[in-house]
Chains A and B, each alone.
Chain A
């Protein structure tokens, strides 16, 4: 969907500035008429000047033909320095004719008797025409230089104006406004290829939008001589990012290219500032989320710490201090505190992972020590269970976030402990693959039905027949997300009645060779 944004420009901006030569503007019919009128006036003035000189030289102060020739030459030079090529050429020819008529014998006719006077006359004509040409060329150069200076000044003013664009507001609209104001181009339109937006000041043509679009797609410049419309693609690094159209101004190719570059840079600058701003907002929001989660963890864990300190202290005292009944009650409180603590830890871990606020703290670790650390963390839970660890020490070191891999291991182990009978052992073993060490966790529980296998990694999913078992339903979801953050995944092989096998790969640290 293309959005069209209209920009109303005040009258004083559209009107050509008074008092300044509107050299950038295309000439109107009135301008052309005025120009021709001035030319005729100047030509007449130069003719009058030559006539006046002729009158003085023939009637007031009679001189010889040589002096007259030099004085005519001075008159032609004066005309050439003051006027343009047309006036100086007219006065050259007029002076030549007068010189011939009034000074070369036979005087009073256009005929020339002596051949050497032909030479003198043509030398005079050639000199005066050359002087006219040279003078006119100098004048034209000066005018061109003046025009270039004007263009550079305007482009400089535009570059400054574009730097001061308010980046919190849509930038394309402001760019159009600045071109209208600073470059004094009355009608401007800017089409952005990325968003399809069209911003314009004036340029109400019906088909302007499709023509802008066409120019952007074809990356080609369109010049409409009839309507004085210029449509040119705005490129950044060779890639068209939009189109600029304007009417009512002429620019040299170099100035137009600079104008387009300025627009491209301004658009790109606004774009990257926007990206930076978005990233900053996202970072701040992540930081806030992280701080909030830390605060929640602290608030929940502090009372739990008091409860745990009391229950564990009482339970660790020699049994004689407590009645059997008291011991049972305190154990219940202790286990409940553990369960609550695990719930809080899991919920916060999940929130952190889902909120994208966790970052991998990659380090180089031995697989065997990762497994051992996880087992040590689980010590109170696994004391009465048979865990068979077959992860050799000589496996190459892996590059992982040790803390998070321990979380994965504890969740998988917790899952295996929960869903397999206490008498059956759990096996943790490993295999060396090409560029990773694969860790397997095998239980001899009742297995998982094929239709449930995909679901068990979903949040809060609990096995249909195991609803009575305690658990947060978050462990496997957390474990899978952590492995995915490492670029790995957790594989499950399971058959009902035969137990389950969870496995995941740990990427071998670069530079360490598999032994």
Chain B
């Protein structure tokens, strides 16, 4: 049984060897690339479910590779970083990563993050069907994950989609940071406010007519976020 196809992009041969061996043992199909450029080529040639991307690589570098992958694909990306400063984490998420893990990490932790990233996103409660939503010139088509704002169309990544559907199922209700993190990222999460900040900003850029003055996804200071749905 295959858990999914994983592409490891890292310049260190030992890391590629270990990843290939451990992830294969846990049921994933693994391929690797030595650089960002090679990784992008590989992603064009065949399809993958997840990319493990090293932040610090010679040549293009992890951050730029992440941006380029994200520009054309909604594939799950986990970044491997050495530096665990908040700034670097936020930069990684801003570049389009879904998650990050700090080196050195334990294999069970990595496996948990991979599972969380590949996990099917929570469905709308009560089996509600995904009706297109239209308000204020914004057209959110949940079935195709496409959003059109003033003739500008963008697609949502899996995590963004998960976050948006969670909000849409609970309109006009303040949802706490912890609840959002645990529902969308998984039970192991709860205090990673930087994830929320970055992903809410990413969502705002896609769904808000004016991302700096959000009308849908509003912040309730200290409490959480609320999806304001005009009645």
Enumerate chain A residues within 8 angstroms of B190, measured Cβ to Cβ: 372
Task: Indicate if the CB atoms of A369 and B103 lie closer than 8 Å.
Answer: no
B180: shortest Cβ distance to chain A, in Å?
14
Interface 9-mer from A190-198, A293-301, A451-459, A462-470: A293-301
Task: Indicate if the CB atoms of A361 and B82 lie closer than 8 Å.
Answer: no
Encoded as 1 (CB less than 8 Å from any B CB) or 0, chain A from 291 to 321 comes to 0001001100111111111101100100000
Q: Which of B19, B86, B87, B106 contacts A308 (CB 8 A)?
A: B106
Residue B29 CB within 8 A of the other chain? no
Task: Indicate if the CB atoms of A304 and B84 lie closer than 8 Å.
Answer: no
Encoded as 1 (CB less than 8 Å from any B CB) or 0, chain A from 324 to 361 comes to 00000000000001000100000000000000000001
Q: Which of A341, A376, A402 contacts B104 (CB 8 A)?
A: A341
Residue B25 CB within 8 A of the other chain? yes
Residue B49 CB within 8 A of the other chain? no
Q: Which of B15, B87, B222 contacts A302 (CB 8 A)?
A: B15
Residue B131 CB within 8 A of the other chain? no
Residue B41 CB within 8 A of the other chain? no
Encoded as 1 (CB less than 8 Å from any A CB) or 0, chain B from 6 to 32 comes to 000000101101110010010000000
Enumerate chain B residues within 8 angstroms of A297, measured Cβ to Cβ: 82-83
Q: How far is the CA of A385 from the CA of B47 in the complex (A)?
A: 46
Residue B107 CB within 8 A of the other chain? yes
Task: Indicate if the CB atoms of B104 and A316 lie closer than 8 Å.
Answer: no
Residue B191 CB within 8 A of the other chain? yes
Q: Which chain B residue shows the least CB distance to A307?
A: B104
Q: How far is the CA of A302 from the CA of B104 in the complex (A)?
A: 7
Task: Indicate if the CB atoms of B18 and A306 lie closer than 8 Å.
Answer: yes
Task: Indicate if the CB atoms of B14 and A403 lie closer than 8 Å.
Answer: no
Enumerate chain B residues within 8 angstroms of A301, measured Cβ to Cβ: 82, 103-104
- Chain A contact residues: helix, strand, loop or mixed: helix
Task: Indicate if the CB atoms of A312 and B82 lie closer than 8 Å.
Answer: no
Most buried by A among B25, B84, B87, B103: B103
Residue B141 CB within 8 A of the other chain? no
Q: How far is the CA of A305 from the CA of B80 in the complex (A)?
A: 10
Residue B130 CB within 8 A of the other chain? no
Most buried by A among B17, B80, B106: B106
Q: Which chain B residue shows the least CB distance to A376?
A: B191
Q: Which of B15, B25, B85 contacts A361 (CB 8 A)?
A: B85
**Number of contacts between A and B (CB, 8 Å)?**
78
Enumerate chain B residues within 8 angstroms of A302, measured Cβ to Cβ: 12, 14-15, 82, 103
Q: How far is the CA of A372 from the CA of B15 in the complex (A)?
A: 31
Q: Which of A310, A372, A373, A397 contacts B18 (CB 8 A)?
A: A310
Size range of the chain B interface in the assembly = 20 to 34
Q: Which chain B residue shows the least CB distance to A303?
A: B14
Most buried by B among A306, A361, A365, A397: A306
B128: shortest Cβ distance to chain A, in Å?
33
Q: Which chain B residue shows the least CB distance to A296?
A: B82
Q: How far is the CA of A306 from the CA of B12 in the complex (A)?
A: 10
B84: shortest Cβ distance to chain A, in Å?
7
Q: How far is the CA of A209 from the CA of B12 in the complex (A)?
A: 68
Task: Indicate if the CB atoms of A372 and B104 lie closer than 8 Å.
Answer: no
Enumerate chain B residues within 8 angstroms of A306, measured Cβ to Cβ: 12, 14-15, 17-18
Q: How far is the CA of A313 from the CA of B116 in the complex (A)?
A: 18
Enumerate chain A residues within 8 angstroms of B110, measured Cβ to Cβ: 309
Enumerate chain A residues within 8 angstroms of B19, measured Cβ to Cβ: 309
Task: Indicate if the CB atoms of A361 and B104 lie closer than 8 Å.
Answer: no
Task: Check A369/B193 contact, CB under 8 A, given A305-B103, A309-B110, A313-B22.
Answer: yes
Enumerate chain A residues within 8 angstroms of B125, measured Cβ to Cβ: none
A400: shortest Cβ distance to chain B, in Å?
11
Q: How far is the CA of A204 from the CA of B100 in the complex (A)?
A: 73
Task: Indicate if the CB atoms of B82 and A309 lie closer than 8 Å.
Answer: no
Task: Check A312/B108 contact, CB under 8 A, given A361-B87, A369-B193, A376-B191.
Answer: yes
Residue B56 CB within 8 A of the other chain? yes
Enumerate chain A residues within 8 angstroms of B18, measured Cβ to Cβ: 305-306, 309-310
B87: shortest Cβ distance to chain A, in Å?
6
B174: shortest Cβ distance to chain A, in Å?
16
Task: Check A403/B107 contact, CB under 8 A, given A306-B14, A373-B191.
Answer: no
Encoded as 1 (CB less than 8 Å from any A CB) or 0, chain B from 134 to 158 comes to 0000000000000000000000000
Q: How far is the CA of A501 from the CA of B82 in the complex (A)?
A: 33
Enumerate chain A residues within 8 angstroms of B106, measured Cβ to Cβ: 308-309, 312, 316
Q: Which chain B residue shows the least CB distance to A341?
A: B104
Enumerate chain A residues within 8 angstroms of B14, measured Cβ to Cβ: 302-303, 306
Enumerate chain B residues within 8 angstroms of A402, measured Cβ to Cβ: 86
Task: Indicate if the CB atoms of B191 and A309 lie closer than 8 Å.
Answer: no
Q: Which of B22, B86, B87, B193 contacts A309 (CB 8 A)?
A: B22
B107: shortest Cβ distance to chain A, in Å?
4
Q: How far is the CA of A304 from the CA of B12 in the complex (A)?
A: 12
Task: Indicate if the CB atoms of B105 and A305 lie closer than 8 Å.
Answer: yes
Q: Which chain B residue shows the least CB distance to A403?
A: B86
Q: Which of B17, B103, B222 contacts A304 (CB 8 A)?
A: B103
A220: shortest Cβ distance to chain B, in Å?
56
Task: Check A309/B83 contact, CB under 8 A, given A298-B56, A302-B15.
Answer: no
In A343-399, which residues have CB < 8 Å from any B CB? 361, 363, 365-366, 369, 372-373, 376, 397
Return 23 A-B CB contacts under 8 Å, by A number. A294-B56, A294-B82, A298-B56, A301-B103, A302-B14, A302-B82, A306-B14, A307-B104, A308-B104, A308-B107, A309-B15, A310-B22, A313-B25, A313-B107, A313-B108, A361-B86, A369-B193, A372-B190, A373-B191, A397-B222, A401-B86, A403-B84, A403-B85
Nearest first, the 10 A-B pairs at minimum CB distance are A312-B106, A313-B107, A308-B104, A305-B104, A306-B14, A304-B104, A305-B103, A312-B107, A309-B18, A403-B86
Q: Told that A310-B18, A310-B107 touch, could you supply 12 new A-B pairs with CB distance under 8 A? A: A294-B83, A301-B82, A302-B12, A305-B15, A307-B104, A309-B104, A312-B107, A313-B25, A313-B107, A337-B104, A372-B190, A403-B86
